[in-house]
Chain A
Amino acid sequence: METLREIFDPEFLLRNSVYIMLLVGFAAPLVGVYLILRRLIFLGVALPQISSCGIAFAFALPGWGLIPHMHDRVEERALALAGSVVFTLLAIFFLAVFERRGRGLVEGRIGTAYVLAGAWSILLLVQNPHGEHGMLELLRGEVISVSNLDMGLTAVVFAIVVTALFIFQKEFLLVSFDREMALTLKKKIFFWDAFLFTMVALTVSISVLTVGPLVTFGFLLLPPLITYQFARTMRQFILGASLVGGISGMIGFVIAYKWDLPVGPTAIAFLGVIFGVAFCVRKLIQKR
């Protein structure tokens, strides 16, 4: 109780970290639901890695003399966000184009993108000691130094994403469930796919920038996978995933704060425990 009182004190030093865990926890599973339904779980793994590569690339640009060195935090974050968004969107665009042409294995392409993004992130960072420090913090998922700027930016982006997912849920569900039917109803499949994946890209980019790739991947997929075991309707699935994500983010922070652990990995480990418990409970229910 004492820890909770301390964390929810308005003067709490790490209050932005609490808020960011709540935001990512509530918002990321909402797009993760679509990745699971469309059987694109691998994409959920690859995109955060590609997004990290974009950030590493952006941090490398001043070192190559292509743009001036950034001394202002606002400019630095804007550069990182631009790198993350551009790389994520490009990856989604190329994967969608290849999928449309129907050549090769989707998993193979996503796996290749993942491993190349990981390798290039490291190669870019070893050339750039300044960027390496920030990136290591991100990769570890420390979620400690979250500025008001990061908080505000994340809140705005997530507000846009959640609003779009809510307003256009009918269209996103139709093109995801039955593309052929959507085509006969004269729906613009490519537009709706691009729109949905842009929402995915924005969520992944901003999440990677604030909590890192591991935590992003964890919150994209684990809360929906936990909820899917019990949900009976799409509404239960979507809202349940968001609730599980948000509450786990909060509990993960409390545990990490109390035992002085890194926030992100603690939250993900906690989600893993819930997943295991949920799996066992479901098996027990099925046996009865």
Chain B
Amino acid sequence: MATDYILSLRDVAVGYGRLVVLPDVNLRLAQGAFIGLLGANGSGKSTLIKTIAGIIPPLSGQIQFQSGNHKTPILGYVPQRESLDASFLLSAFEVALMGVCGRVGPGRMIPAAEREHVKQCLHQAECDDFAHQRFSELSGGQRQRVLIARALAAHPQFLLLDEPTAGIDAAATQSIMELLRKIREQQGITILMVNHDLPMVRRYVEEVIWLRNGTIVQGPASELLSREKIEELLEISWL
């Protein structure tokens, strides 16, 4: 059976201005897959995910999305939570409400149905208890859940997460990964996630993209996250 792809990158160079971070990216991401994007610090993971999300334009090459209706799929983006300014006096609900701004025209009030949808997304992400607390006063794990709820509020077909479990304790990490697994199973959303936590990635994702010295290795998690392959990719030996 032929695989449906939601995204393909052909000869794409990513970077900032004249700084090329990844010179030649060729990738295809299968529809409905849970994909982990791995690599050392500074290897270009965030740059690549931001390029796919349309935040940074590609330096060259072609990025092609494909969804069921042959239109660009709706993206749900979860940024690194430290990138959001704590001085904004916004509640978790107000932050999540931003997710519907793509559907509500400029100058229009957010309709009651959309507000209800946001409440459901917050409920799905288990944020009911702190939905009306100030976003900046929440714990790292709680903020991450709110950002996932916000991304879900956009009705995404493709969810992009930039280090959703960085700096979060083990219990919160586990519950966020469980939430992502549930979202993917229930809604069939394709998920691409930047992550450093190899055991966690091995447990939840089925495909891995590994960035190493400007090159890309893509394959099944069971293969790329085997002990021998990790040793080879990280150029280390366990003795």
B50 adjacent to chain A (CB < 8 Å): yes
Q: How far is the CA of A39 from the CA of B87 in the complex (A)?
A: 9
- Near A by CB (< 8 A), chain B positions 72-97 give 75-77, 79, 83-85, 87-91, 94-95
- In the bound complex, do residue B110 and residue A180 qualify as a contact, i.e. CB atoms below 8 Å apart? no
- In the bound complex, do residue B94 and residue A178 qualify as a contact, i.e. CB atoms below 8 Å apart? no
Q: How far is the CA of A173 from the CA of B53 in the complex (A)?
A: 21
Contact with A along B154-169 (1 / 0, CB 8 A): 1000001000000000
- In the bound complex, do residue B75 and residue A181 qualify as a contact, i.e. CB atoms below 8 Å apart? no
- In the bound complex, do residue A180 and residue B83 qualify as a contact, i.e. CB atoms below 8 Å apart? yes
B134 adjacent to chain A (CB < 8 Å): yes
Q: How far is the CA of A177 from the CA of B55 in the complex (A)?
A: 15
Contact with B along A166-186 (1 / 0, CB 8 A): 011011011011101111111
- Near B by CB (< 8 A), chain A positions 36-78 give 36-37, 39
- In the bound complex, do residue B84 and residue A178 qualify as a contact, i.e. CB atoms below 8 Å apart? yes
A258 adjacent to chain B (CB < 8 Å): no
Of the stretches A146-154, A197-205, A232-240, the one at the interface is A232-240
- In the bound complex, do residue A177 and residue B84 qualify as a contact, i.e. CB atoms below 8 Å apart? yes
CB distance from B48 to the nearest CB of A (A): 14
CB distance from B142 to the nearest CB of A (A): 17
- In the bound complex, do residue B88 and residue A170 qualify as a contact, i.e. CB atoms below 8 Å apart? no
Contact with B along A228-247 (1 / 0, CB 8 A): 00011110110000000000
Q: How far is the CA of A168 from the CA of B85 in the complex (A)?
A: 20
Q: How far is the CA of A83 from the CA of B97 in the complex (A)?
A: 41
With known contacts A37-B88, A232-B89, A181–B79 Cβ distance under 8 A: yes
Interface range on chain B (Cβ under 8 Å from partner): 20 to 34
Contact partner of A170 (CB less than 8 A), chosen from B53, B55, B85, B101, is B101
Q: Provide the residues of chain A in CB contact with B95, threshold 8 Å.
A: 177
- In the bound complex, do residue B89 and residue A178 qualify as a contact, i.e. CB atoms below 8 Å apart? no
- In the bound complex, do residue A171 and residue B79 qualify as a contact, i.e. CB atoms below 8 Å apart? no
With known contacts A180-B50, A183-B53, A232-B134, A167–B88 Cβ distance under 8 A: no
Q: Provide the residues of chain A in CB contact with B110, threshold 8 Å.
A: 170
Q: Provide the residues of chain A in CB contact with B87, threshold 8 Å.
A: 36-37, 39
- Near B by CB (< 8 A), chain A positions 202-241 give 231-234, 236-237
B54 adjacent to chain A (CB < 8 Å): yes
Contact partner of A237 (CB less than 8 A), chosen from B85, B89, B107, B150, is B89
Q: How far is the CA of A168 from the CA of B104 in the complex (A)?
A: 12
A187 adjacent to chain B (CB < 8 Å): yes
CB distance from B83 to the nearest CB of A (A): 7
Q: How far is the CA of A145 from the CA of B68 in the complex (A)?
A: 67
- In the bound complex, do residue A167 and residue B107 qualify as a contact, i.e. CB atoms below 8 Å apart? yes
With known contacts A37-B85, A178-B98, A234-B94, A183–B54 Cβ distance under 8 A: yes
Between A and B, 5 residue pairs with Cβ closer than 8 Å are: A168-B106, A177-B85, A177-B88, A178-B79, A232-B134
Report, nearest first, the 9 A-B pairs whose CB atoms are least far apart. Answer: A185-B102, A184-B77, A167-B107, A183-B55, A180-B55, A184-B75, A234-B89, A184-B53, A177-B88
Residues of B in contact with A (beta carbons under 8 Å apart):
17, 50, 53-55, 75-77, 79, 83-85, 87-91, 94-95, 98, 101-102, 104, 106-107, 110, 134, 150, 154, 160
Residues of A in contact with B (beta carbons under 8 Å apart):
36-37, 39, 102, 167-168, 170-171, 173-174, 176-178, 180-187, 231-234, 236-237
